[in-house]
Structure 1
Amino acid sequence: MAHALGHDVVFEDFFPSMVEKLGGEGFLKELSNGFRVLMDEEKEVITFESLKKNSELLGLKGNMSDDELMCMLSEGDLDGDGCLNEMEFCVLMVRLSPDLMDISRMWLEETLAKL
């Protein structure tokens, strides 16, 4: 399933199939790996500069303008510091996947039912 990001950028949503294949813990590990690919190694957060520089490693550079990268960064920046920490990145990635949001809701309901 394809979803829009920012203005006109569309990405293919592979997350639900990744969760199915890797399980919850494996998927979170992959998100963590993705965060490390995009982060500024000195600051240990994703900055605009690190996102712009490293996005080509994920095949995004040619498809996203500076404005679209800034939009992505600001959309995920929950604490308003201008960059993404690992938690903000993971939350953003899950929010960008409506199908994954449904799976996350299901996990939460199952966990709460066990309490």
Structure 2
Amino acid sequence: MASPKSPTRPTQQNPEPSFHDFLPAMAGKLGGEGLIGELCNGFELLMDREKGVITFESLRRSAAAVLGLGDLTDEDVRSMIKEGDFDCDGALNQMEFCVLMFRLSPDLMDASRCLVTEAIEEEYGRY
């Protein structure tokens, strides 16, 4: 189990886990389709082969082996699933996983907001 003061775990002094967001760099190098392809590959590494979704059990199993996160608690794993489980079925399908990865990337979310704002201004600025 991770120490409560571990830099990857939230605490009162450090409420947000610290990590380096590589998704924007990947998007820049791979392009949109390439990034989605890599996210789909990541999904396949974590999913339960029989069910075709990421379950608590498959994520728990993969946390140490694939992600190097062997110190995650069961509650951590449940929280990860719950964060992206839009249809509330207790698992992540491929779309939920990809959306979650984008939502967890602050730089990609900021860039997306800028693109949406520009598109709205362009669309409604004409009238």
**Which range, TM-score by smaller chain?**
0.7 to 0.9
Q: Percent identity?
A: 55
Cα RMSD for the two superposed structures: 2.3
| Structure with max Cα Rg | 2
Structure 2 residue runs of 5 or longer lacking an equivalent are 1-6, 12-16
Q: From the superposition, tell whether residues 63 and 108 of structure 1 become closer, same or farther in structure 2 (CA, over 3 Å).
A: farther
- Partners in 1 of 2:101 and 2:23 — Cα distance? 9
Q: From the superposition, tell whether residues 106 and 27 of structure 1 become closer, same or farther in structure 2 (CA, over 3 Å).
A: farther
- Partners in 2 of 1:47 and 1:79 — Cα distance? 13
Correspondent of 2:19 among 11, 26, 49 = 11
> For residue 61 of structure 2, what is the aligned residue in structure 1?
53
> For residue 99 of structure 1, what is the aligned residue in structure 2?
107
Question: With CA pairs under 8 Å and 6+ residues apart, which has the higher RCO, 1 or 2?
Answer: 1
Which residues of 2 match residues 1-115 of structure 1 at below 5 A?
7=10, 9-55=17-63, 56-60=65-69, 62-108=70-116
Task: Give the TM-score, by structure 2 length.
Answer: 0.74
Q: How many residues align?
A: 110
Q: Which has the higher helix share?
A: 1
Structure 1 residue runs of 5 or longer lacking an equivalent are none
Q: From the superposition, tell whether residues 22 and 110 of structure 1 become closer, same or farther in structure 2 (CA, over 3 Å).
A: farther
Task: Give the TM-score, by structure 1 length.
Answer: 0.81
